[in-house]
Amino acid sequence: MPQKNINSTSSTASSTADQRVITYAQAGVEGVREEMLRNPDIFYIGQGIGPRGGNFQQSRGLWQEFGQARVRDTPIAERAQAGFGVGAALAGSHPIVDIVFMDFTLEAMGEIVQQASTIHYISNGRFKVPLMVRAAGGGIRSTGPHHSHTFWSFFAHIPGLKVVVPSTPYDVKGLIKTALRDENPIMFLEHKGLYGTKGHVPEEEYLIPFGEANVIRSGEDVTVVTLGKMVQRSLDAAEELQRNGISAEVIDLRTLVPLDKEAILKSITKTGRLVVVDEAYASCGISAEVAAIVAFEAIDQLDAPVVRICTLPTPHSFSPSTDSYLVPSVVRIVAEVSDLMKKKI
């Protein structure tokens, strides 16, 4: 079931069981661990995910618990990792392939796009590829043009792939468990800047269905559709907008394929205005897809033009001031939403 307002980026931990607070990275580890215990066919390979627990501690403790037979480091060879994963999935296993940085999924596009996404179709359903490709994107600490990409729309474009972008510790655990029970190839794309954030995560088992967006803040004046790290920035902007008399409804998409267009359309019927906030580029992206859906299915509900707030179309910079200018900020979201409220179709 979708969980409303359960998460927080607060660094204050709670000692009570029903208010247990853990990090995004810990929540992901818990989800993987529980599913590996449940299903012996799941194994985990990737760069540095063994004894040291991953670049972002996203696999911490799994090698020590399950051993090298099921948690194994690989060379820096993304295409080989993905190809191995596809073959193992076809042979009856359920691999997790951790490419670590989303940027370098490009090295494995042949295996992901040409093979993993198509085999079920071209075999007339005889073969399945239960594969989860895990990777982290987004800019943190001005990591430059080779370690900052957020091109989840590349994969959302491809039939046969499911695309997951969790924004909170609660969501990353519930969605990773769902992904590891799915028989399709799944791109599980996280944001590097979220691994250290904290939130409430129940100890009891739960799963989050794909295709259910989360309305994490109700509002009356404008719908803000967002994902990944931009969820928290959109919430912070909504707080400031509220002080200025603008009530913003914030929707976290959580999965891009399947996409919960019903949640978006329902919100637009109420607010009449749409803003899409995405750290990815605007051109041919998820923001364009959401805008097109609303334009086609709810144009009569719109009282103003659709606004897309995305990273500006230039490569990420090593300069902190330049990179912070490129990526959507709370200030920019507040300014553009406020400007939208003055416009009408």
**What's the average model confidence in pLDDT over 176-192?**
97
pLDDT at position 2 is 36
For residues 212 and 143, what is the distance between their CA atoms, to the nearest angstrom?
Answer: 32
- Whether the per-residue pLDDT at 57 is higher than 60: the answer is yes
Q: Which of 147, 149, 200, 316 is catalytic?
A: 147
Report the SS3 class of residue 297. Answer: helix
**What's the average model confidence in pLDDT over 25-47?**
98
The amino acid at 184: N
Global confidence as pTM: 0.92
Which segments of the chain belong to CATH 3.40.50.970? 17-200
**What's the average model confidence in pLDDT over 128-150?**
88
**What's the average model confidence in pLDDT over 196-203?**
96
Band (pLDDT 50/70/90 cuts) for residue 12 is very low
How much of the chain, in percent, has pLDDT values that exceed 90? 86
For residues 285 and 74, what is the distance between their CA atoms, to the nearest angstrom?
Answer: 31
- Whether the per-residue pLDDT at 95 is higher than 60: the answer is yes
Instruction: Give 209-273 as a DSSP string.
Output: -TT--EEEE--SSEEEEE-TTHHHHHHHHHHHHHHTT--EEEEE--EEES--HHHHHHHHHHH--
pLDDT at position 38 is 98
pLDDT at position 19 is 82
**What's the average model confidence in pLDDT over 249-257?**
98
**What's the average model confidence in pLDDT over 61-87?**
96
To the query of whether residue 94 is one of the catalytic residues in this protein, the response is: no
pLDDT at position 3 is 38
**What's the average model confidence in pLDDT over 19-34?**
96
pLDDT at position 82 is 97
- Whether the per-residue pLDDT at 142 is higher than 90: the answer is no
φ and ψ at residue 103, rounded to 5 degrees: -50, -35
How much of the chain, in percent, has pLDDT values that exceed 70? 95
pLDDT at position 217 is 98
Lowest mean pLDDT among 5-14, 37-46, 308-317: 5-14
Q: What is the pLDDT of residues 147-165, one digit of tens each?
A: 888 999 999 999 999 999 9
**What's the average model confidence in pLDDT over 316-345?**
91
Which segments of the chain belong to CATH 3.40.50.920? 214-340
For residues 340 and 335, what is the distance between their CA atoms, to the nearest angstrom?
Answer: 9
pLDDT at position 18 is 60
Class of domain 214-340: alpha beta
Band (pLDDT 50/70/90 cuts) for residue 10 is very low
- Whether the per-residue pLDDT at 108 is higher than 60: the answer is yes
pLDDT at position 13 is 37
For residues 131 and 96, what is the distance between their CA atoms, to the nearest angstrom?
Answer: 6
For residues 45 and 99, what is the distance between their CA atoms, to the nearest angstrom?
Answer: 9
Class of domain 17-200: alpha beta
**What's the average model confidence in pLDDT over 73-78?**
95
Return mean pLDDT, the chain.
93
Band (pLDDT 50/70/90 cuts) for residue 28 is very high
- Whether the per-residue pLDDT at 140 is higher than 90: the answer is no
